[in-house]
Amino acid sequence: MEKKGILVTGGAGYIGSHVVLQLAEAHPTVVVLDNLSTGFADAVIGAKLIIGDVKDKYLVKNILKEYSINTVLHFAAHTIVPESVSNPLKYYANNTCATRNFLECCVEEGVKNFVFSSTAATYGIPPTPTVTEDTPTNPINPYGSSKLMSEWMLRDLSQATHLNYVILRYFNVAGSDPKGRIGQSTQNATLLIKAACEVAVGKRENIHIFGVDYSTLDGTGIRDYIHVEDLAKAHLLALDYLRSGGQSIILNCGYGHGYSVREVLDSVQRVYGKPIKIIESPRRPGDPPQLIAIADKIRDTLKWVPQCDNLDFIVKTSLDWERKLLLKDH
């Protein structure tokens, strides 16, 4: 019998759960493996949740066998950049060593297709504001390095075995399910749009702009923000691409244009309808002035057409989710 099951590691987390929501509507056998260290059981909708760790080789092998898994989407990782700087071994243990053991199980159990959640942090501070997939990788923090090492393992493994992969390098992911079923529930989030929306609903007192003296139009850093719904869709297309015989490939996941920190905060205030408290602070070390994806390759290869490329819409879905969380907490 042909294997057709899909395993999603870290599928109870922010991005993973949005992918699972779309996947479960299109595929019958979707299994989530998550240790719930940062994920939430109630974020897994339409799929079977197994609480456990990708480091547990016995458990992983049993899941791959029992559910006839031939495709894996691997999200399980720590993702907080400042924490990776202060505690690098935590990131190498979880993001790199655990992925190595997990890959070994996948190869031994005949998994054919592997979609890997990577990051624009692999580029570090690139020499140009826009980056292609061929821009040299030069991560400047352990988070970026830990992900790049996993990319290298996948590259080498695919040359030695039957495993094919799509590596998706995310830019700045934001927003939540437009229907309000799930969202970004990460505690102490460091991502700008979520943090600003938390200020709007009263969870935080203020938001900091780190650096107002960059050589950009308004002096603040520029990033490529992508709605989580469009990112999730890219994973489904990547899965279909691999299952129809596509070759291993690395793809940038961004819209191909950026917004400055001030533009994002203006949007939050516009959507919220009132000003929020903003504090201007010095630059943080390691923040590039601009980081924008050149995303032609993903559009061409996967026929990916973003549906949510609108800053106010991204902010609105984030703000709606923060209001929902606030009601939940009370």
Residue 214: name the closest of 279, 283, 264, 281 by CA. 283
Rounded Cα gap, residues 20 and 308, in angstroms? 18
Q: Is 91 a catalytic residue?
A: no
Name the active-site residue from 14, 67, 143, 241.
Answer: 143
Which residues neighbour 307 within 8 Å (Cβ) at sequence distance 6 or greater? 229, 230, 233
* Helix boundaries (H) for the chain: 14-26, 57-66, 81-86, 88-91, 98-108, 142-160, 192-200, 228-243, 261-272, 296-302, 311-329
> For residues 119 and 167, is the Cβ–Cβ distance under 8 A?
no
> For residues 101 and 74, is the Cβ–Cβ distance under 8 A?
no
Residue 52: name the closest of 38, 36, 31 by CA. 36
Length of the chain: 330
Catalytic residues: 143
